[in-house]
Amino acid sequence: MKNKLLILVLALLPAIGGLHAQDTHPRTALFRDSLDHAIDISNWLASKKGFLLVPSLITEPAVGYGLAGAAVYFHSSYSAKKGPPSMTGILGAGTQNGTWAAGAFHIGYWKHDRIRYMGALARTYANVGFYGSGFVPGLENQSVNLNMDAWIVAQQIKFRLAETNLFLGGRYIYLKTDNTFALPIEMPEYDTLQFPANLSEATAVVNYDSRDNVFTPTKGFFLECAGTYSDTWMGGEDLYGRLAIQLIGYLPATQRLILGMRYESSYTFGNVPYWARPIVVLRGAPKMKYQDKNTMVMEAEVNWNVYKRWYLLGFTGMGNAFSGFDSYSKGKSVSSVGTGFRYKIARKFGAQMGMDFAKSNDDFAFYIVFGCSWLR
């Protein structure tokens, strides 16, 4: 979540730069590279301190097209040596299907990036298609309209071990929601289902990050293992646990060709609520469409530098949501394929910006991307 907020803040074109931010470079030099004189925002990123207004587009198939915006205060300018600046802000978003969200957040990089903190408070009103298995008999493979009117509190802190790339930390999430289901067919015994629910999760996190660039890596690995626990005494609905593993790697095949791979899996134990079960996250697949007690995702990508600052991408992936390993072959599987393009918008930071286009089993989606698609 922290990195996604950071990218939302940084992923804007120079033309909409903050009116109240302090610039330490002449404006004519902010958006041009001194080496090739191409459009570049490296100096702009390195000089910003103060308030920025940040707009963004939403293209997620699960909620439809929409707009998002944030008012962000940068506590310092960006430094390639010291890392991203701490920032505080408020944000809001809305989409064409009536989904909206509003919240406030703080992202902190403290003690020369030895401590990383994220805190957020948000209110969301989401309308999504729920495909949860077995919720209503006879509707296992159909979409049920789910409205979630929720408050969310999230806290996360991680500590770097000595001078290594290893971090240890913890995360806590509390969600209070009123859920409403609208069934697609007439079922007098159900009709419309309404009920409140609470989620309270504590998670221990271990991650290792050797990527050479947080925006658009060209080599290195990111590995995270997270163990989650929830119980009624914590304010949740049920006793359950979850183990999540993420592995992302980049390998330079040639000077112009970068190979990427991604593996993610999530396994739950106990009585995990249907709406808190893990989902398959894959380009081209709507969120919450492929959901069950366990998930597994694999994806591969090729990034080819075809001409100067321009790059072409090709990617493919597959995922599965299943109730248990004995029923893996009967799970909800999805595969996707797609292409995209990038422009190196900030040479000094190695950051690219562009679009991805993806097709999955029954859906198509496009995404505006700053940095890499597997941002963590």
Tens-digit pLDDT profile for residues 365-375: 999 888 888 87
Report the pLDDT value the prediction gives residue 137, as an integer from 0 to 100: 59
How many residues are there in the chain? 376
Average pLDDT over residues 290-301: 95
Helices (H) then strands (E): counts for the chain: 3, 16
| pLDDT for 52 beyond 90 | no
φ, ψ dihedrals at 80, nearest 5°: -65, -25
Kindly state the percentage of the chain with pLDDT values over 90.
Answer: 52
Enumerate long-range contacts of 101-105, CB under 8 Å, 24 or more apart. Answer: 101/125, 101/126, 103/152, 105/5
Q: Which domains does the chain possess?
A: 89-370 (2.40.160.50)
Mean pLDDT of the chain, nearest integer: 85
Residue 341: its H or E element: strand 332-346
pTM reported for the whole predicted model: 0.85
Average pLDDT over residues 237-253: 95
Report the pLDDT value the prediction gives residue 3, as an integer from 0 to 100: 46
Report the pLDDT value the prediction gives residue 191, as an integer from 0 to 100: 54
Report the pLDDT value the prediction gives residue 26, as an integer from 0 to 100: 54
Which of 175, 187, 184, 267 has the alpha carbon at shortest distance from 228?
A: 267
Tens-digit pLDDT profile for residues 20-48: 344 445 555 678 888 888 888 878 777 76
pLDDT band at 5 (very low <50, low <70, confident <90, very high): very low
Report the pLDDT value the prediction gives residue 55, as an integer from 0 to 100: 83
